[in-house]
Amino acid sequence: MLVDYHLHTVFSGHAVGTIDDYLAKVEELGIEEVCFTEHTSRQYLPDEFRRQIPDSWMQDEELAVYLKLVAAAATRTSVRVKLGLETDYFAGHEEALARFLDSLPLDFVLGTVHFLPMYEMRYISLVDEEPAAFLVAYFDYIKRAIESGLFDSIAHIHLGWQIVPWPSGRAGKTVEKGLAQVVAAAATHDVCLEINTRAFNFEGHGTLDIYRRFMAMIADYGVPITLGSDAHDPKDVGRNYPQVLRTLRHYGIDEVATFEKRQRLMVPVGDQLLSTAQGK
Ligand SMILES: [Zn+2]
Ligand SMILES: [Zn+2]
Give residue 149 CA to ligand 1 midpoint distance, Å.
19
In whole angstroms, how far apart are CA 25 and each of 30, 79, 164? 9, 11, 33
Residue pLDDT, tens place only, 47-81:
999 998 887 789 999 999 999 999 999 999 999 99
Q: What is the band of 278 on the pLDDT scale with cuts at 50, 70, 90? A: very low
Q: Is the pLDDT of residue 240 over 60?
A: yes
Cβ distance 156 to 194 under 8 Å?
Answer: yes
> Per CATH, is 3-268 categorized as 3.20.20.140?
yes
Give residue 86 CA to ligand 1 midpoint distance, Å.
7
Give residue 60 CA to ligand 1 midpoint distance, Å.
18
Give residue 169 CA to ligand 2 midpoint distance, Å.
32
Taking the C-alpha atoms of residue 188 and residue 45, their distance in angstroms, rounded to an integer, is 28
Give residue 41 CA to ligand 1 midpoint distance, Å.
13
Q: How many CA atoms lie within 13 Å of 250's alpha carbon, on the beta-carbon side?
A: 12
Encode 150-167: b = buried (16+ Cβ within 10 Å), e = exposed.
bbbbbbbbbbbbbbbebb
Give residue 226 CA to ligand 1 midpoint distance, Å.
14
Give residue 112 CA to ligand 1 midpoint distance, Å.
6
> Whose CA is closest to 3, among 201, 224, 279?
224
How much is the pLDDT for 202?
96
Q: pTM of this prediction?
A: 0.95
Give residue 125 CA to ligand 2 midpoint distance, Å.
14
Cβ distance 171 to 209 under 8 Å?
Answer: no
Mean pLDDT of the 193-208 span = 96
How much is the pLDDT for 27?
96
User: How are beta strands 153-154 and 122-123 bridged, if at all?
Assistant: unpaired
Taking the C-alpha atoms of residue 271 and residue 248, their distance in angstroms, rounded to an integer, is 10
Residue pLDDT, tens place only, 141-191:
999 999 999 999 999 999 999 999 999 999 999 999 999 999 999 999 999
Cβ distance 158 to 204 under 8 Å?
Answer: no
Cβ-based neighbours of 88, under 8 Å, separated by 6 or more: 39, 40, 42, 53, 111, 112, 113, 114, 115
Give residue 49 CA to ligand 2 midpoint distance, Å.
22
Residue pLDDT, tens place only, 214-234:
999 999 999 999 999 999 999
Taking the C-alpha atoms of residue 71 and residue 76, their distance in angstroms, rounded to an integer, is 10
Give residue 9 CA to ligand 2 midpoint distance, Å.
10
Taking the C-alpha atoms of residue 50 and residue 47, their distance in angstroms, rounded to an integer, is 5
Taking the C-alpha atoms of residue 192 and residue 146, their distance in angstroms, rounded to an integer, is 9
Q: What is the percent of the chain where pLDDT is above 70?
A: 98
* DSSP run (H or E) holding 49: helix 47-50
| Residue that wins the pLDDT comparison between 14 and 174 | 174
Q: Is the pLDDT of residue 275 over 80?
A: no
